[in-house]
Amino acid sequence: MGGRSSRAGMEAPHRRVGSTKHFALWSLAAASLAAFNPSSATAQPFGAESAPADAAPLAGGAVTLPPMVVTGLRAAVMGYQARRTSTATRTDTPLRDVPQSVSVTTQQAIRDLSMQNLQDVLRYTPGAGFAQGEGNRDTPVLRGNSTTASLFVDGIRDDVEYYRDLYNVDRVEVLLGPNAMIFGRGGAGGVVNRVTKQADWNPIREVRLQAGSFDNRRATFDLGQGITEGAAFRVTGVYEDSESYRDGVDIRRYGINPTAAFRIGNSTTFRVSYENFRDERVADRGVPSFRGRPLDTGVSTYFGDPNNSPVHANVNALNLWAEHRFENGVVLRNHSRYAVYDKFYQNIFPGAVNAAGTAASLAAYNNSTKRENLFNQTDVLFSLNTGPIRHALLVGVELSRQDTDNFRNTGYFTAVGPNATNFTTPLNRTRIRTPVSFRQSATDANNSGTATGAAFYVQDQVELLPQLLLVAGLRYENFDVDFRNNRTGERFNVTDNPVSPRIGLVYKPAEPVSVYVSYSNSYLPRAGEQLSSLSLTNQSLRPEEFTNYEVGAKWDVNPALTLTAALFRLDRTNVASVDPTDVTRLVLVEGQRTEGLELGLRGRVTGNWSVLGGYAHQSGEITGTQSATIVKGNAVPFQPRNTFSLWNRYDFTDQLGAGLGIVNQSSYFPSADNQVRVPGFTRVDGALFWALSERWLAQVNVENIFGAKYYPVAHSNNNITPGAPVSARFALTARF
């Protein structure tokens, strides 16, 4: 990286197509990396081809070799396009052979769009969106299902509620549709997996400084190289201290992630990674609604007390990988993750506006979560033939233990009264400073829980014919939650033993095209996404279930550009609802159905023009009455009917390039009661890129160029976040 020329800050794989030498070098590099990637599956990945090796002897001892066709692996990632994944099937598989919608946001896209969080990533992912998360956590919305637990890092669960950064991320993979066979519980509408940067013997020395509107200040670094032929290191880091367009809101974070890799002989690789990350910010829950729409107020207007709404999250995580390749082609690999999380947030936030539109109510609470996670995954991968049929088999075991403590306090506005939980403030004075005391109410959480899991899974990727592939798998899991209400002393236990199938059929009528059909499911135990909602009334209920039916197509329009399409139906069932004939009982009802079309486009149209984006048309409906206001026929919340995004980058010369992006989203409901509608919007972004030299790169990104007033995310009818006005960020990258 250091010392290589690049067009306006792009990595070398973003150069023009057409150089056989460059393609061969990248193929060789990809093959070398695959050999030492802890996620790679077999010596010959599923979907790879073999070159002929026979020779015909001639008179005089001369030998004529048949024409040699080099079919080495293409680079897994080139520019905005990803060609392979090890996450969707736990084997190194071409994306074209995966019977599922998979969108990969590459390192190049992250850089070009100046992405720093998962919301930035999902903005350009068809079928995915984002909710507000009460101003303290990532909350993706995948095919109409909002989630805080469908988040993974390097294929292992990372399920505590906090805001993740992209400083140590190589790429982000969004896999749509539930798939418990691979990922286990949760994953209602899919999963979001961050693939981190790892030591790989390639020298890299990079520092990136960023500054911009609203006192945005951020610095990252990425340093690594091989120490010996058998050892390499890499360390990434971030520090940020930024203000916000929202009055009184700021963000401070830092993180460091050293990694090391070791080659033991020719067959064994060992990797270790440790991350320490801290995020501090002010909880921002946006503005309330009035008469069925977001309250018309300034985009900077804050409701509550930012000085009394702190959020912090500490993450300490250790990862260990080991992989051994036997001479007979069998691969044994193990991945362990031990992570300790400490999360606290407190917020004073808006409620409803009065009928006259002159004042709003405020409420307050705080919450603390401490969690200790231990996960271990062991996979055995091997291939075999049964007659003319080729199999790539995966057999695996996942063991897990999660210890969680959760404690919540209600805020009392003592200036109103010792037990007052609401404070009314006029709309011309929404940022308040009034005494608030925090203590437990009769219903606040004070609980401890231990969740243990043991899962066994098997998957077969079968080449029935050269053009016909079958992917079939099954997971059996024993998932047990022991739960204690520390306030009352009550203990609860629930054990689930789900069997989760997955099956998909892929047909390739021509080499660059595949079409597929698939079926998959997932489940959510009664302890909930965060393992903290088990109670006497719900402990005996069956888990929620999510079932996905999908048909799709993938087309490599050219070697550097991929077009994808998917039609899906996703059903959510076994939703707990209060029995209308007995309010002390819960009953299971139908939940919701989401249907839609997703189109994605990623890669290079020409050597100079790169694109990223897609379109989704989705409709979601509540299929069973769940309360007096959430009734059958209501629309699913956080799901715009139409979303469209398209980012373009064009390089005029090797030194100068420009980017232009459009994001369009139709209106949506922020609650399943459908009482408030958030209007749609169109936002235009732009960027300029300069390669000042081989070692110095500069770029400026401008978001919302035309100053649209919009509301991209919400949490409820009265927690709706205004989008940022025109804002710019300038970044300077040094490579040495």
**Which residue in 376, 369, 366, 377 sits closest to 403, CA to CA?**
369
Number of other residues whose CB lies within 10 A of the CB of residue 723: 18
Residue 481 pLDDT > 70: yes
CATH number of the domain at 12-47+75-735, please? Answer: 2.40.170.20
* Element (DSSP H or E) covering residue 696: strand 696-703
Tens of pLDDT, residue by residue over 82-101, are 999 999 999 999 999 999 99
Task: Show me where the domains of the chain are located.
Answer: 12-47+75-735
Average pLDDT, integer, range 472-477: 98
Q: What is the pLDDT of residue 15?
A: 36
Average pLDDT, integer, range 244-262: 98
Q: For 47, left (φ over 0), alpha (ψ -120 to 50), or beta?
A: left
Rounded CA separation 504/487 (Å) = 48
Rounded CA separation 489/447 (Å) = 9
**Lookup: tokens for 328:** 């007979």
Q: Residues with Cβ < 8 Å from 358, sequence gap 6 or more?
A: 426, 427
Q: What is the pTM of this model?
A: 0.90
Rounded CA separation 154/160 (Å) = 16
Tens of pLDDT, residue by residue over 659-718, are 999 999 999 999 999 999 999 999 999 999 999 999 999 999 999 999 999 999 999 999
DSSP codes joined into one string, 616-672: EEEEEEE-S--SSSS-TTPBPTT--SEEEEEEEEEESSSSEEEEEEEEEE--B-SST
Tens of pLDDT, residue by residue over 21-40, are 333 333 333 333 333 333 33
Mean pLDDT of the chain: 90
Choose the weakest-confidence range: 61-70, 321-330, 349-358, 593-602.
61-70
**Which residue in 286, 146, 259 sits closest to 594, CA to CA?**
146
What percent of the chain is predicted at pLDDT more than 90?
86
**Which residue in 283, 383, 492, 351 sits closest to 46, CA to CA?**
383
Q: What is the pLDDT of residue 590?
A: 87
Residue 132 pLDDT > 50: yes
Residue 55 pLDDT > 80: no
Q: What is the pLDDT of residue 295?
A: 98
| Confidence band of 306 (pLDDT split at 50, 70, 90) | very high
Is residue 288 within 8 Å of residue 295, measured between CB atoms? yes
Residue 393 pLDDT > 50: yes
Phi/psi for 118 (5° steps) reads -70, -30
Fill in the amino acid letter for 609. W
Phi/psi for 140 (5° steps) reads -65, 150
Average pLDDT, integer, range 635-654: 97
Average pLDDT, integer, range 397-421: 97
Rounded CA separation 9/690 (Å) = 7
Q: What is the pLDDT of residue 75?
A: 65
Number of other residues whose CB lies within 10 A of the CB of residue 27: 16
Tens of pLDDT, residue by residue over 214-230, are 999 999 999 999 999 99
Average pLDDT, integer, range 395-405: 98
| Confidence band of 181 (pLDDT split at 50, 70, 90) | very high
| Confidence band of 74 (pLDDT split at 50, 70, 90) | low
Average pLDDT, integer, range 600-621: 97
Tens of pLDDT, residue by residue over 586-597, are 778 889 999 999
Greater model confidence, 294 or 71: 294
Average pLDDT, integer, range 154-178: 97
Q: What is the pLDDT of residue 633?
A: 96
Number of other residues whose CB lies within 10 A of the CB of residue 269: 21
| Confidence band of 638 (pLDDT split at 50, 70, 90) | very high
